[in-house]
Structure 1
Amino acid sequence: MSDVRYPFTAIVGMADLRLGLLLNAVSPAVGGVLVRGEKGTAKSTMVRALAGLLPSIATVDGCRFACDPAGPDPQCPDGAHDGGASSRRPAELVELPVGVSEDRIVGSLDLERALSEGVKAYEPGLLARAHRGVLYIDEVNLLQDHVVDLLLDAAAMGRSYVEREGVSVRHAARFLLVGTMNPEEGELRPQLLDRFGLTVEIAATREPVERAEVVRRRLSYDADPAAFADRFAAEERALAERITAARELLPRVELTDAALRQITAVCAAFEVDGLRADIVMARTAVALAAWAGRTEVLAEDVRKAAELALPHRRRRNPFDAPGLDEEQLDRVLEEHAEPEPEEPQEPEEDPDPEGGPEGEGPEGDGPPDGGPDGGGGGAPEPSGQDGPDGPPAEVTDGPAPDDSPAPQPVPLQPPSPARETAPVAAGDPYRTRLFAVDGTGRGAQGRRSPAETDSGHTIRARRPRGRLARLHLSATLRAAAPHQLARGRSSRALVLHKDDFREQVRQGRESNLVLFVVDASGSMAARQRMTAVKGAVLSLLMDAYQRRDKIGMITFRGAGAELALPPTSSVEVGAARLESLPTGGRTPLAAGLLRAHEVLRVERLRDPDRRPLLVVVTDGRATGARDAVAQSHRAAGLLAGQGVASVVLDCESGPVRLGLARTLADRLRATAVTLDELRADGVASLVRDSRGGGHRGEHRPTVSASASASASASASASRKAA
């Protein structure tokens, strides 16, 4: 791979992304930019190219935190830098890998040296390296939540705090924060979206000429990166000089009261939460004016700032796509625009008292007789008029009125193998009960099932596995205490060996793979029933979003089962697939369960630490073959034998119920809940999985005793009321 970066000015199109990055280069106080777009749209290429345009920075020699010699950080861990030597270097681009740990971001303390030698040895992290440069996070939506919180807090405060084991370290961390993401792989939480100053949506151009130019330039760069960069060197220098000039002009830009009123009016009209949007819009509008070489913010700056700063702050639930109503934006800006000063008007001449010009009547309305040519009082009658009674009957060339029309041929439709019902809308989502996999896992951090994680409460101590990161102090002292006499301890200092160290084991929550198996057959086709079923699945999807799960969806109907949604982190795609789901045909329940078994087998190979939770949405019926019920029971036994934690959402309705879904749940060793029991506010306690004991053991989620009692009491009350 070449060390020569692809030139920023060589990238074709994507004007909004280009502008958003340049505005942050002019004013890092804008708060960074989040780039949302499909794969293969040069998001990473443009961000990396931006670093080459940033002005070089002066740093204190020997400072690991890139302190500015003109204003060094008084709290710099490397000490005060009064009068120290300095030098210049390019602004650094620091890329954050998806699997980065908290210690790698904020830095870490060498605990072994601290305890053995009695020195505070602090190793700076990536935030220190990114100070006064660019911090780039590719696939920011795949980072763990607590890692993203650290990054955004540092970006907002301009300082990183390390508080561990009684040692406090603080250092400056001001950087241009850029995150890229593919929405198909999952969304960021709205709270995290709000911490990015600007957001830009990009997509590959559909114009063949532009696409050809993109390919042509990329092939030219791959063939000779240095020669390709030389072609754009002059444009790169001019753009870098413009950034420097805009930075120098920025302090002199005036944000007028009129522009500020427009900014606050727009934010209020779009009902954004908090005041961060107002501040970001103000900073962006000022940066836009500086970029244009002006010293005053205009209405066009406010409008563009709203387009960049507000779309991602308009989301009200996880399934809302970021967006902005441009007509509403224009209306608000116009209503709160500063009125233009009125120009003095010259007095009008008195009208002619005799009326209009010669030939007109006193009122000036036309000829005296009222007609256009003075010939009468109205328009001339059309030709063909047969008298005062109106026009004669219309003459046509068609058949007489009593003739019968010729019969029209009826198009033949091919016979449908199974009657299909059009998709129905889902009911309103609601808060559901919690389903969790039993035992303690080791999957990615989330909010569903118990697991060993980097954050959480400490449950025990163990010998370090690799580099010591979180010291368990009391366990370390207990391990070293019995050996002090043998080690010749002669002072109050404790004699520690490497084998004495113990690290903390913390328990938090992990995310799971929630695989939905949805019955879309004719037995589910009743409109009210399917609306309720889709509302329940949509509610479970929202729950999976909030708990940071991966989701997948299998539907079965007609002749077989289909993987409607491969496992992904994007619950938005899952909601869209659910909304367009048609119903009809037979009920191949066994095919749906076998397809689930195959999907889980493949996912277990891809990510063995992510434990699955199977949610089967069905009324329990199985048709399509003579032994369809027996086949479905065998498929259920196969999943149960693999230890798959399962929940059966019983969709059976009506006065007479066969209990088929409950029988299926027994075969799966799963919990069966009805649509009414799914709501969290209908049960006193949460649903927890039990029985299984371990990461690879047998799992059978069951309703806890208090939940069962509450459900039974609720059912009994319903029967009495009926």
Structure 2
Amino acid sequence: MPDTSAQTPAEIPAIPAGIPEATPGAPPAAREARYPFTAVVGLADLKLALILNAVSPRVGGVLVRGEKGTAKSTIVRALAALLPPVTTVPGCRFSCDPAAPDPGCPDGPHGTGTGGAGDGAGIGIPRPARLVELPVGASEDRLAGSLDIERALTEGVKAFEPGLLAAAHRGVLYVDEVNLLHDHLVDLLLDAAALGTCYVEREGVSVRHAARFLLVGTMNPEEGELRPQLLDRFGLTVEVRASREPGERAEVVRRRLAFETDPAAFAAAWADREAELAVRIAQARARVADVVLPDSALRRIATVCAGFDVDGLRADLVTANAAIAHAAWRGRTEVAAEDVREAARLALPHRRRRDPFDAPGLDEAMLDALLAQVPDDPEGDGPEDDPEDGGPGGSGGSPGGSRGDGPGDGGPDGSGGDAPGDGTGSSGDPHDPASGGPGRPPAGHAADPGPEAEGGHGERVAPPGPLRPARVFTVPGIGAGAPGRRSRARTPLGRTTGARVPGGRPASVHLTATVLAAAPYQRERGRSGPGLLLRREDLREAVREGREGNLVLLVVDASGSMAARKRMSAVKAAVLSLLLDAYQRRDKVGLITFRGSRADLVLPPTSSVEAGAARLRELPTGGRTPLAAGLLRAAEVLRVERLRDPARRPLLVLVTDGRVTSGTVEESRRAATLLAGVTSVVVDCESGHVRLGLAASLAHRMGAETVRLDDLTDLAGMIRQRRTAA
């Protein structure tokens, strides 16, 4: 690798996005050392988003979405080394600021150097800012804190042991694969992020402490989406993807191999750039309080947020804070139009109203048009000239936004700007949200495919009708299936709801219940010191309650009779709503369609349903109705899945009018009896004044509930009610 230590920031070439994680055979030093922030190639928007949060923590964090192997985790872990140091009260486990200590700190009260119990607290001890990582499988007590087990058992005292939220106070809380985080941990994060305070009421402990942190999460969208409440808590979002240009990818590998060969030498080569960037962040953080947000910029922010039809007002606040931070980062004392543009590009993609399965994104042409609607304040002097001309953040910024890597180009590592359109940036979806994206008609304009003659050979593709959100239902009872977001279930991870005597070796000891069981017998056991005398019969196991995911198998009639009177458009809209619901709640979903003389497994049971949604939109309708083939294929899929995952409870949703024009009625009846033990719902698509009741008769043989086509908009809600299957 050529020596770049003597190059100036302007001479460093533009490098593509992506530094893969350490390879399995890398030396231990390479696995432990942190890759330098400025050495990560490309990812300009992600670098800018992280830096804006470092400049102003009020921006509210970053969500990084992207495919695997694109340096998401690498660059986030490298951020901590660039943050200014934190001054804390000596001996405080909760990182209180000596200049403004938390009056309710459990380790307090902290004085101000005027005498008393907290005398000397105003002195402070500087330390580096912390990067605290929250594992996906962490327990609730590890996150929020709990009773100090060691002191309870050895000293017999009730003391609080801080969790990860306390450790992350005034630092960075990093959640890798945040979309896979269990719901009970998500609830705790939401409370702490909203209030800036962690409340712990458990195991006889009642504690409140400050928990203000920079929340950074990374995720692969293929593995599922975030709950809307948590998604909205991230101030900015960035979509990353690797370059497809061979030369740029070679440079990515070249740098990574150099780092793994000698991490210390590699870090030393980039030390000057790291120090330069850290100084610039500190200067911008000191400047941010003096940045002015003029009325013209505020009107631009409101116009853009309203124009993109985002939910709530948090988007306006985040965009304003991000614009102020961007102005400070660019050395300005007043927010300019380009600052608002850069802030909106990062703050709005995940907040705009969009259809299911669309990636977050903004139409940048529409963004520029909205910004142009608001003129500059005629009484103002206008923004200062950009001290470093040539970057997208300067006057007349290009539609690509901050795509460069140099400090003067909105990027932090001084490696120049990426070429436009090279695929290495992280800009939003280029499609107009009003158009719904490629392959999707505007809502309310579903074409009527017209009636199709039963048994005919013609094919029509009916677009889905307008999607409607499903009602929220709860499921009675408690299952024991795979962890998810659907039904109540007994799970290894979840909220502790009680304690019980274990049948064998306890999976998770319930400390409070164990201590209470042993306490009455301490005297007769001869206890003479502070320690607690325990016996095996004192042990109590924690009972945890979470949520489970289910297997939802959709069997859809795509024959010619379904094309009449917009039936298929309504069916597609309902099934897409159910797919979205399952996608968000981590269900496993399969899709079978039958038409002509056979049934096809369009989507094998999977937790990633985007392919099924795309195929459903383009599903042709026509031909005869092989009902028996569809039922037999469903029975076979359920049999195989029962062997693969016996704990996951299935639910069959059959969408048909009950007609049989391929095969015999008797074959359909025999096939229906094979599914009699499966919890099923039959959606009756028969319409008109004269109804034969064929779907209802089929449902009776299957032991299924019948739902009319008119109720399809509530199909997802009805599915929730049917989660009591054994």
TM-score class normalised by the smaller sequence: 0.7 to 0.9
270-279 or 177-186: which moved more? Answer: 270-279
2:509 partner letter: L
| Structure-2 residue corresponding to 1:671 | 705
| Structure-2 residue corresponding to 1:421 | 460
Aligned-partner SS, 1:194: helix
1:48 partner letter: R
136-145 or 519-528: which moved more? Answer: 519-528
Paired residues of 2:310 and 2:351 also in contact (CA < 8 A): yes
CA shift digits 1:47-70 (9 cap, x unpaired): 122223223434455443334455
CA shift digits 1:509-555 (9 cap, x unpaired): 53323221223234433362212222332343354456553433233
2:679 partner letter: A
Paired residues of 2:184 and 2:546 also in contact (CA < 8 A): no
Q: 1:274 to 1:619 in 2, by over 3 A?
A: closer
Aligned-partner SS, 1:308: helix
| Structure-1 residue corresponding to 2:509 | 468
**CA positional deviation for 1:281:** 1.5
Aligned-partner SS, 2:350: helix
User: For residues 456 and 228 of structure 1, what CA distance do their matches in structure 2 show?
Assistant: 45
Paired residues of 1:424 and 1:579 also in contact (CA < 8 A): yes
1:647 partner letter: V
Paired residues of 2:479 and 2:488 also in contact (CA < 8 A): yes
Indicate the structure whose relative CO is greater, using CA pairs within 8 Å and at least 6 residues apart: 2
User: For residues 470 and 600 of structure 1, what CA distance do their matches in structure 2 show?
Assistant: 41
**CA positional deviation for 1:95:** 2.0
537-546 or 163-172: which moved more? Answer: 537-546
156-165 or 660-669: which moved more? Answer: 660-669
Paired residues of 1:24 and 1:32 also in contact (CA < 8 A): yes
Q: 1:232 to 1:186 in 2, by over 3 A?
A: same
| Structure-1 residue corresponding to 2:284 | 246
Q: 1:482 to 1:220 in 2, by over 3 A?
A: closer
User: What are the residue-to-residue correspondences of 1:584-663 with 2, within 5 Å?
Assistant: 584-589=622-627, 592-593=630-631, 595-597=633-635, 599-600=637-638, 608-621=646-659, 630=667, 636-640=672-676, 644-654=678-688, 659-663=693-697
User: What are the residue-to-residue correspondences of 1:535-614 with 2, within 5 Å?
Assistant: 535-544=573-582, 549-558=587-596, 560-569=598-607, 574-589=612-627, 592-593=630-631, 595-597=633-635, 599-600=637-638, 608-614=646-652
User: For residues 605 and 341 of structure 1, what CA distance do their matches in structure 2 show?
Assistant: 73
Aligned residue-pair number: 612
**CA positional deviation for 1:225:** 3.6
| Structure-2 residue corresponding to 1:346 | none
Match of 1:511 among 524, 549, 552: 549
**CA positional deviation for 1:293:** 1.6
1:24 aligns with 2:39: no
Paired residues of 1:442 and 1:453 also in contact (CA < 8 A): no
User: What are the residue-to-residue correspondences of 1:9-48 with 2, within 5 Å?
Assistant: 9-48=38-77
Provide structure 2 residue ranges, at least 5 long, that are not aligned to the other structure.
Answer: 1-25, 111-117, 382-455
Q: TM-score, normalised by structure 2?
A: 0.72
| Structure-1 residue corresponding to 2:120 | 83
**CA positional deviation for 1:483:** 6.3
1:195 aligns with 2:249: no
| Structure-1 residue corresponding to 2:170 | 132
**CA positional deviation for 1:508:** 6.2
User: For residues 342 and 501 of structure 1, what CA distance do their matches in structure 2 show?
Assistant: 72
**CA positional deviation for 1:32:** 0.2
Aligned-partner SS, 2:537: helix
**CA positional deviation for 1:328:** 4.0
**CA positional deviation for 1:19:** 0.6
**CA positional deviation for 1:184:** 2.5
Paired residues of 2:39 and 2:270 also in contact (CA < 8 A): yes
1:55 aligns with 2:71: no
Aligned-partner SS, 2:207: strand
Aligned-partner SS, 2:82: coil
Q: 1:681 to 1:234 in 2, by over 3 A?
A: closer
CA shift digits 1:649-682 (9 cap, x unpaired): 2334456655554454355443333323556599
User: For residues 280 and 717 of structure 2, what CA distance do their matches in structure 1 show?
Assistant: 63
1:329 aligns with 2:373: no
549-558 or 588-597: which moved more? Answer: 588-597
2:36 partner letter: P
2:64 partner letter: V
1:309 aligns with 2:309: no
Aligned-partner SS, 1:526: helix
User: For residues 380 and 544 of structure 2, what CA distance do their matches in structure 1 show?
Assistant: 70
Aligned-partner SS, 2:568: helix
User: What are the residue-to-residue correspondences of 1:353-502 with 2, within 5 Å?
Assistant: 419-429=458-468, 431=470, 440-448=479-487, 458=497, 461-463=500-502, 465-469=506-510, 471=512, 499-500=537-538, 502=540
Aligned-partner SS, 2:468: coil
Taking every aligned residue pair, what percent have the same amino acid on both sides?
Answer: 65
Provide structure 1 residue ranges, at least 5 long, that are not aligned to the other structure.
Answer: 344-416, 693-698, 700-722
User: For residues 191 and 716 of structure 2, what CA distance do their matches in structure 1 show?
Assistant: 38
CA shift digits 1:321-368 (9 cap, x unpaired): 53334344334433333244699xxxxxxxxxxxxxxxxxxxxxxxxx
User: For residues 64 and 91 of structure 1, what CA distance do their matches in structure 2 show?
Assistant: 14
1:298 partner letter: A
Match of 2:159 among 99, 121, 126: 121
1:27 partner letter: S
User: For residues 719 and 130 of structure 2, what CA distance do their matches in structure 1 show?
Assistant: 52
| Structure-2 residue corresponding to 1:380 | none
1:154 aligns with 2:188: no
Bigger Rg, structure 1 or 2: 1
Aligned-partner SS, 2:187: helix
| Structure-2 residue corresponding to 1:170 | 208
CA shift digits 1:406-463 (9 cap, x unpaired): xxxxxxxxxxx96432243335436469696976334325244565686679588544
User: For residues 323 and 447 of structure 1, what CA distance do their matches in structure 2 show?
Assistant: 28
| Structure-2 residue corresponding to 1:367 | none
571-580 or 39-48: which moved more? Answer: 571-580
Q: 1:17 to 1:485 in 2, by over 3 A?
A: closer
| Structure-2 residue corresponding to 1:276 | 314
2:592 partner letter: I
User: For residues 677 and 332 of structure 1, what CA distance do their matches in structure 2 show?
Assistant: 40
User: For residues 78 and 646 of structure 2, what CA distance do their matches in structure 1 show?
Assistant: 37
**CA positional deviation for 1:247:** 1.7
Match of 1:109 among 144, 147, 161: 147
Aligned-partner SS, 2:206: strand
1:283 partner letter: N
CA shift digits 1:574-628 (9 cap, x unpaired): 443322222234545455445545655665566554322222223345666x679
2:614 partner letter: A
User: For residues 57 and 570 of structure 1, what CA distance do their matches in structure 2 show?
Assistant: 42
User: For residues 516 and 25 of structure 1, what CA distance do their matches in structure 2 show?
Assistant: 47
User: For residues 238 and 609 of structure 2, what CA distance do their matches in structure 1 show?
Assistant: 21
CA shift digits 1:28-58 (9 cap, x unpaired): 2210011122333222222122223223434
Q: TM-score, normalised by structure 1?
A: 0.73
2:273 partner letter: E
Paired residues of 1:449 and 1:512 also in contact (CA < 8 A): no
Q: 1:485 to 1:209 in 2, by over 3 A?
A: closer
Paired residues of 2:224 and 2:584 also in contact (CA < 8 A): no
Q: 1:295 to 1:689 in 2, by over 3 A?
A: closer
Match of 1:5 among 34, 55, 71: 34
| Structure-2 residue corresponding to 1:387 | none
Paired residues of 2:578 and 2:715 also in contact (CA < 8 A): no
Aligned-partner SS, 2:179: helix
1:191 partner letter: Q
User: For residues 716 and 673 of structure 2, what CA distance do their matches in structure 1 show?
Assistant: 31
User: For residues 681 and 536 of structure 1, what CA distance do their matches in structure 2 show?
Assistant: 7
Q: 1:43 to 1:455 in 2, by over 3 A?
A: closer
